[in-house]
Amino acid sequence: MSTRPSPDPQKPFRLSRPGMSWIYIILFIVLIWLWFFKGQNTIQETTWKQFEEEMLVPKDVARLTVVNNARVEIYIREESLDKPLYKNIPRRLLNDEPVPGPHFYFNIGSVEIFHAELEKAQENLPGTEHVTVTYGTRENWWQNFLFLLPIIFLVLFWMFLLRRGIPGMKGKGTSIFNFGQSNARVIEKGTKSKITFKDVAGMEEAKEEIYELITFLKSPDKYKRLGAKMPKGVLLVGPPGTGKTLLAKAIAGEAGVPFFSLSGSEFVEMFVGVGASRMRDLFQKAKAKAPCIIFIDEIDTVGRARGKAHAFQANDERESTLNQLLAELDGFDTDAGVIVLAATNRGDVLDPALLRPGRFDRHIHLELPNLKEREAIFSVHLKPLQLSGDVNTAALAAQTPGFSGADIANICNEAALIAARREKQVVGKQDFMDAIDRVIGGLEKKSKIITPEEKRRIAYHEAGHVTASWYLEHAHPVLKVSIIPRGRSLGAAWYIPEERQIITRSEFFDAICTALGGRAAEELIFEEVSSNALDDLEKATKQAYNMVVNYGLGTTLRNISFYDSTGRTEQSLYRSYSERTAQKIDSEAQQIIDDAYDKTIQILLDHQDQLHALAKALIRKETLHRPDVEEILGARKKSEDHASP
Ligand SMILES: Nc1ncnc2c1ncn2[C@@H]1O[C@H](COP(=O)(O)OP(=O)(O)OP(=O)(O)O)[C@@H](O)[C@H]1O
Ligand SMILES: [Zn+2]
């Protein structure tokens, strides 16, 4: 999904104080108001004398209205409006024509006196026609309404923006005007999330883990009765496009509960103080609809460890949002039936407070799909397409190592588009080939792509680690090995973790051999080593120096430790040995590494067949678990039990 926005906690623009935003808005309204009223309904005041001499006598007056028995309004004849006297009367905003009146007014004390004066003034005028006088009352509400018109108009405009969102602003339905409102998109029960586990391929472990959540959401009472506490927060961690959002929606779909979702970046909006109130609002809405699911995507945007963000950035907004989230999480009971799911691809940057018990204490790790899972994902996304007979999901999966579920969805869509462009009736193999090429083109920039040759090397490398550890007496047994890239590394092997408190020299040594297994295998098989062993070499080297410098496990530097328990590590203190000793340390460490490497090579030579078999299985399946390894390498001789007798 090339258009997926990356979480971007840094907003370019931010007002510095809460409340400032309101000042801007009010200013805006006042300006509009002034503009609207500019000269519009302002009638000029005049005097009886001016009225009589300059308007009545020259016969400019069209008619008069006595309003509320207190004020006389003068309408000037249209023909007379060109006279210089009238050049200041208000004009219409749009076409600059003079307004039709009233144009002037003067106040009167009594209608009778006014009437008498008017008669007297007209008596001496030529012609018999007198000015028409009408009487009226003007309701104040009407005037007020006119006055309020621009405001009403503004409010309507405002509501319009609220519904539509402002073009160019972030997020659908988001606008600067719906401040504290969360735009949690709600999928109601009736129109509930149509996505179910059928749409989520692979991820069997993750699905199993969340099955419990679904049964809870379906019948929370059953759990309540037993007094069981459900987790409040579940964190989905995994690289982009591995289906975190999809999984969250599937949970809601399976359980048939409403799904509230909001992205972390939507909390950190333009205006300060918005994030926290959005968070409050989101939880309020959700609690009213319980049982339900709240899904917060890109939680790292708000949940980044406090005080660790960029120096330039005002963190208050993010921090207050995070604090609000913590408060909300603590504020509801698990019986409320609300489960908060959050997704991130950076589990390591999250604030520890978020991960404490009672908050996001359950973690589900999603990984890039292996061969079989990719095949399953292809099947899901191929279903809606009209395919020709030559399309083979297994072959497609084999061609897409390192691709995420989103990448695969992208390929399927791209293939259909290509076929349509070629005016074909069905999507064929070639369309997929071209789609893969195109998607690879996009991915290559992100250097996510592994060539088949690289894949072979990675497979042998990992197989080397596993084979070496398998036949080393004191190494940790392998649990799982994979050649699916994760983060910086291209493959990985997992071992049963260290439980020993005391490590013997042999155990140190075998650990170094295991670390060197990858490079040794590469040398044996490809007759050339590669850069693919950086982390291994770092580990082995540190271990070797550790043996010599700290634990006194060297051969000539026996029983000597340069360890400093005071922890002062300044150069002068740390190197409390002579230059000659330093050289000895270096050569001792090198010796250990050399010995370990020789031993590893020997083991791999002795078990070449197994190494090949393991590597081939890895190329085929990409991830092997312990039973698969056992099947290929045979049962491990040494007992797994490390508790020393
Ligand atoms: N296991 C899967 N099965 C089927 N489709 C998948 C799977 N994983 C991902 N997809 C496809 O990829 C799309 C994107 O996945 P999704 O948005 O859930 O990924 P994400 O992990 O939330 O990504 P991000 O970290 O970028 O938010 C999904 O809509 C779906 O079409
Ligand atoms: Zn390695």
User: What is the value of ipTM here, to two decimals?
Assistant: 0.92
Nearest C-alpha neighbor of 632 from the set 401, 470, 457, 522 = 470
**Shared-domain flag, residues 549 and 459:** yes
Which listed residue (462, 522, 588, 622) is catalytic? 462
State the ligand closest to the CA atom of 530.
2
Write the single-letter amino acid at 560.
I
User: Does residue 26 lie within any of the structural domains?
Assistant: no
User: Does residue 162 lie within any of the structural domains?
Assistant: no
495 Cα: distance to centroid of ligand 2 (angstroms): 13
Give the model's pLDDT for residue 10: 38
**Shared-domain flag, residues 230 and 261:** yes
**Does ligand 1 have an atom closer than 6 angstroms to the CB of 201?**
yes
Q: What's the mean pLDDT in 470-479?
A: 86
pLDDT of 168 > 60? The answer is: no
**Does ligand 1 have an atom closer than 6 angstroms to the CB of 242?**
yes
**Shared-domain flag, residues 606 and 492:** yes
In angstroms, rounded to a whole number, what is the distance separating the alpha carbons of residues 515 and 469?
Answer: 9
User: Does residue 14 lie within any of the structural domains?
Assistant: no
**Does ligand 1 have an atom closer than 6 angstroms to the CB of 410?**
no
Per residue in 53-70, pLDDT tens? 888 888 888 888 888 888
Give the model's pLDDT for residue 190: 36
Lookup: tokens for 441: 């083109």
**Does ligand 1 have an atom closer than 6 angstroms to the CB of 347?**
no
Last residue of a domain, one of 441, 470, 489: 441
Mean pLDDT is lowest, of 180-189, 287-296, 297-306, for 180-189
pLDDT of 486 > 70? The answer is: no
Give the model's pLDDT for residue 114: 85
CATH number for the domain that contains residue 574? 1.20.58.760
**Does ligand 1 have an atom closer than 6 angstroms to the CB of 203?**
yes
State the ligand closest to the CA atom of 488.
2
User: Does residue 152 lie within any of the structural domains?
Assistant: no
Give the model's pLDDT for residue 16: 38
User: Does residue 38 lie within any of the structural domains?
Assistant: no
Lookup: tokens for 118: 């008017």
Q: Which band of pLDDT confidence, cut at 50, 70 and 90, is reported for residue 182? A: low
In angstroms, rounded to a whole number, what is the distance separating the alpha carbons of residues 588 and 594?
Answer: 10
Q: Which band of pLDDT confidence, cut at 50, 70 and 90, is reported for residue 93? A: low
Instruction: Give the domain extent around 535.
Output: 452-633
428 is in an annotated binding site: no
436 Cα: distance to centroid of ligand 2 (angstroms): 29
**Shared-domain flag, residues 327 and 208:** yes
**Shared-domain flag, residues 459 and 488:** yes
Give the model's pLDDT for residue 464: 95
Task: Choose the most confident range, by mean pLDDT, from 51-60, 314-323, 326-335, 377-386.
Answer: 377-386
465 is in an annotated binding site: yes
Cis amide leading into 291 (omega within 30): yes
pLDDT of 577 > 60? The answer is: yes
Cis amide leading into 7 (omega within 30): no
Give the number of other Cβ atoms within 10 Å of residue 129's Cβ. Answer: 9
User: Does residue 172 lie within any of the structural domains?
Assistant: no
Say what the pTM is.
0.54
Q: Which band of pLDDT confidence, cut at 50, 70 and 90, is reported for residue 173? A: very low
**Shared-domain flag, residues 460 and 427:** no
Lookup: tokens for 466: 């596993």
Hey, whose CA ends up nearest to atom 30 of ligand 1?
406
Task: Choose the most confident range, by mean pLDDT, from 11-15, 570-574, 617-621, 635-639.
Answer: 617-621
Q: What's the mean pLDDT in 89-99?
A: 71
How does DSSP classify residue 19? T
297 is in an annotated binding site: no
Residue-wise burial string across 606-628, b where 16 or more C-beta atoms lie within 10 A, e elsewhere: ebeebbebbbebbbeebbbeeeb
Q: Which residues contact 22 (CB under 8 A, 6 or more apart)?
A: none
Q: Which band of pLDDT confidence, cut at 50, 70 and 90, is reported for residue 616? A: very high
Write the single-letter amino acid at 260.
F
Q: Which residue has the higher pLDDT, 409 or 158?
A: 409
CATH number for the domain that contains residue 375? 1.10.8.60
Q: Which band of pLDDT confidence, cut at 50, 70 and 90, is reported for residue 520? A: very high
Give the model's pLDDT for residue 602: 95
Q: What's the mean pLDDT in 280-297?
A: 85
**Shared-domain flag, residues 360 and 437:** no
CATH number for the domain that contains residue 256? 3.40.50.300
350 contacts 308 by C-beta, under 8 angstroms: no
Q: Which residues contact 577 (CB under 8 A, 6 or more apart)?
A: 562, 585
238 is in an annotated binding site: yes
Hey, whose CA ends up nearest to atom 1 of ligand 1?
201
In angstroms, rounded to a whole number, what is the distance separating the alpha carbons of residues 99 and 637?
Answer: 104
DSSP for 542-582, please give it.
HHHHIIIIIS-B-SSSBT-----TT----HHHH--S-HHHH
User: Does residue 154 lie within any of the structural domains?
Assistant: no
Task: Specify the number of domains making up the chain.
Answer: 4
Q: Mark the residues whose beta carbon lies below 5 A from ion ligand 2.
A: 518, 536
**Shared-domain flag, residues 128 and 229:** no
**Shared-domain flag, residues 496 and 623:** yes
Asked about 579 being catalytic, the answer comes back as no
**Shared-domain flag, residues 79 and 223:** no
Rama region for 379: left / alpha / beta (φ>0; ψ in -120 to 50; rest)? alpha
% of the chain at pLDDT higher than 70: 79
State the ligand closest to the CA atom of 341.
1
**Shared-domain flag, residues 282 and 192:** yes
User: Residue 310 burial (CB < 10 Å; 0-12/13-18/19+)?
Assistant: exposed
645 is in an annotated binding site: no
CATH number for the domain that contains residue 68? 3.40.1690.20
State the ligand closest to the CA atom of 236.
1
Atom of ligand 1 nearest to the CA of 200: 3
Q: Which band of pLDDT confidence, cut at 50, 70 and 90, is reported for residue 609? A: very high
Both ends of the chain: CA-CA distance in Å? 55
Give the model's pLDDT for residue 433: 86
180 is in an annotated binding site: no
What are the angstrom distances between the C-alpha of 286 and each of 211, 521, 598?
Answer: 21, 55, 62
393 Cα: distance to centroid of ligand 2 (angstroms): 30
Hey, whose CA ends up nearest to atom 17 of ligand 1?
245
Task: Choose the most confident range, by mean pLDDT, from 320-334, 412-426, 498-512.
Answer: 412-426
In angstroms, rounded to a whole number, what is the distance separating the alpha carbons of residues 238 and 200?
Answer: 15
**Does ligand 1 have an atom closer than 6 angstroms to the CB of 299?**
no
Give the model's pLDDT for residue 615: 95
Q: Which residues contact 150 (CB under 8 A, 6 or more apart)?
A: 32, 33, 36, 37
Give the model's pLDDT for residue 7: 40
Last residue of a domain, one of 144, 172, 205: 144
**Shared-domain flag, residues 190 and 332:** yes
In a 13 Å sphere around the CA of 625, the CA atoms on its Cβ side amount to 2
Last residue of a domain, one of 83, 113, 144: 144
Task: Choose the most confident range, by mean pLDDT, from 35-49, 224-238, 264-278, 363-377.
Answer: 363-377
Q: Which residue has the higher pLDDT, 159 or 367?
A: 367
User: Does residue 233 lie within any of the structural domains?
Assistant: yes
Q: Which residue has the higher pLDDT, 153 or 496?
A: 153
- Show the CA angle centred on residue 532, arms to residues 531 and 535, nearest 5°: 100
On average, the pLDDT of the chain sits at 78
Q: What's the mean pLDDT in 399-417?
A: 88
Q: Which band of pLDDT confidence, cut at 50, 70 and 90, is reported for residue 302? A: confident
**Does ligand 1 have an atom closer than 6 angstroms to the CB of 240?**
yes
